Structure 1
C-alpha cells in the first residue's frame, strides 16, 4: 500500500520546548520508531510541518543587523526543508538499514491572486503573551492572532495548485526509495505568464493540504495525518469534548473545526477521500501503525451512500 504521511510540526518541536537541535533530534527519534514498522510493510512518502522552525528562522533573520532586509519566507521554508529533511533522513537510515531514503527540496505552485495573501491565517513561530505579540507586530510589521495557547504570528497560506517535483517523487518511489518531500507545504512559487519563470512568494502553504494534493497525484491508497492528539475531537478543550472516530468528508466538514488548528487537517483528509475514494486518518504519531490498521485515530472514509 502507498501511504503519504503528513507529520505535524509540533511532533518535531513540542509546544513550550526549546528549539535546540538536540531537542528536535530526540523528537525525530520517536518519528523513526513510529514509522519504521509501517515502512517495513508499505511504500512511504513522508511530508512534514515547519511552523515552529520557520518562525524561529524568521525571527533570527529579522533581528540580524548584518542584513539590509530579512530573508523572505520562501527561502526560509527551503532552509527548513533541508534541516528537517536531513534529520529525518539520517534517523530513518539507522532505523531502516538497507532502505534507500531521499530528501527532496520541493516547490509548490500557488496563484498570485489567491485571496489568502490579503488574509493571513497560518500560524508560524513561538507563542507570545498578548502584549509582547502586539509589540513585535508593531516593530516588525507582523500580523498576529490568538491560537489555543497564546498569541502568534500569522502569514498568508495560499492554496497549493501543483507540486512541481511530483514526477521526480514518482521515479524515486518506483526505485524503492522512501521519499521525504513537500516539507512545510513546499516552497511557494508563482510562475510568470509569459516566460514561466518561477518567483518565490512571502507565504507558507499548509502542509496538510499539500500532502493531500501530493497523495492524490501519486495515486496513494492512504493519507495519514499525524499530530499531537490521539484523534479528532468535537468541542476540543471544553467539558463537552468528545472523540470523532469515524466520519465521511461531509460529516467532518459539518463539524466546523477551527481554521488555525484542526480545520486544515480535516479539510485535507476530506479532499483526499472525495477525490480518490481512498482512506485518510488523523491521529497521534506514536500510534501510526495502529491508525493504519484501524485500531486508533479518526478514520475518514468515502460516503458509499452518496450519488
Structure 2
C-alpha cells in the first residue's frame, strides 16, 4: 500500500535558536532534537523535508566578501552551497539515531521570472543583524538594508516567486526508495531561462512558497510548515491575540488581503498553504516543538479548502 506524501518545511529554529551565531555544532545540536520525529514520520509517510537558509546564506555570502585571497562566489552559488551543508547536517542528525536510514539530499533549482518585481525591490533578509553605526557604511557599499528598531539593520535581497521546481523528476524518483528526501533547501537555487539556457540569479526564494510549489508538483497529500509559534494567530502580539485552529482558504485569502499576516513572517506561510489546499490536499502550520501533533492534526492551525 502506497504511503501518503508529506512535504515538511522546517522553520529557521530547527537550525538556529535565538541568540545563537550559527556554529556548525549549534546547528547540529538543534537538528538532533528534530531527527527522532523525522524518523517517526518516515514510517508513516513518503517524507520530503525542506528548510530555510537565510542566516546561513547570509553568513556564507559575508565570508565570500571578507577576503580578496579567494574568488568570491555569487549569491545563487552560495544558496547551492548551503543546500548541501544543511542537507549534510540533516543526514548526520538522522543517522545519529538510525545509521541505516537513507537520507537523500537533492540540490534543487527553482525557476523564477526575470521580470519579477522583486528584483526591483529587495525584501528578503539574509545574514546577521548589524549594529546601527555600521548601517550607513553598508548602504554606501551598495547593499539594500532594512532597519529593525532596537536591533540595527539587516541586508535584504530580491525574493522572486518560484514558478517551477526544475528537479522535480529526480525528487519524485527518490520517493519510496529512501526514508527521507531533502529538497528545495532555501527555496531552491534561483535560476532564469534566457535564450534557451538556464542562468543563476542573485536572489533568495521564500522556502514556504517553494515548499508549496514542490508539494503541488509532487501531488503531495499533506503540507506542514513548522515555525516557532503554536500556529496562525489573529492580532498576534496583542492582548486580544487568538490562535486559529482551523482556517478556510477563502477566509485566509481575505485576512491576507486585509494585512493581518505580515509579509516577513506569517504571510508567506499562510499564502503557501492556501495555494496548496486549493489544488487538493491538506495543510497545517504549527510549532516545531510539536511536529508530530501538528502532522496528526491535534496541534497548530489546519488550513482547508472549505
TM-score (norm 1): 0.92
RMSD: 1.7
Shift of 1:138: 2.3
> For residue 210 of structure 1, what is the aligned residue in structure 2?
210
> For residue 122 of structure 2, what is the aligned residue in structure 1?
120
Distance 1:72 1:186 in 2: 15
Change (3 A) 1:302 1:74: same
Q: Is the 8 A contact 2:104 2:178 kept in 1?
A: no
Shift of 1:147: 5.2
Distance 1:237 1:93 in 2: 38
Residues 226-241 of structure 1: pairs in structure 2 closer than 5 A: 226-241=226-241
Distance 2:267 2:189 in 1: 22
> For residue 5 of structure 1, what is the aligned residue in structure 2?
8
Change (3 A) 1:238 1:138: farther
> For residue 105 of structure 1, what is the aligned residue in structure 2?
107
Shift of 1:148: 8.2
Q: Matched residue pairs, number?
A: 298
Shift of 1:149: 6.8
* Structure 2 residue 274 is the aligned partner of structure 1 residue 270: yes
Change (3 A) 1:96 1:218: farther
Give the gaps of 5 or more residues in structure 1: none
Shift of 1:177: 4.0
Distance 2:36 2:230 in 1: 17
For residue 162 of structure 2, give the secondary structure of its aligned residue in structure 1.
coil
Q: Is the 8 A contact 1:34 1:287 kept in 2?
A: no
Shift of 1:93: 2.4
Give the gaps of 5 or more residues in structure 2: none
* Structure 2 residue 287 is the aligned partner of structure 1 residue 284: yes
Q: Is the 8 A contact 1:81 1:183 kept in 2?
A: yes
Change (3 A) 1:108 1:63: same
Residues 1-40 of structure 1: pairs in structure 2 closer than 5 A: 1-40=4-43
Q: Could you tell me which of 34, 53, 56 is aligned with 2:56?
A: 53
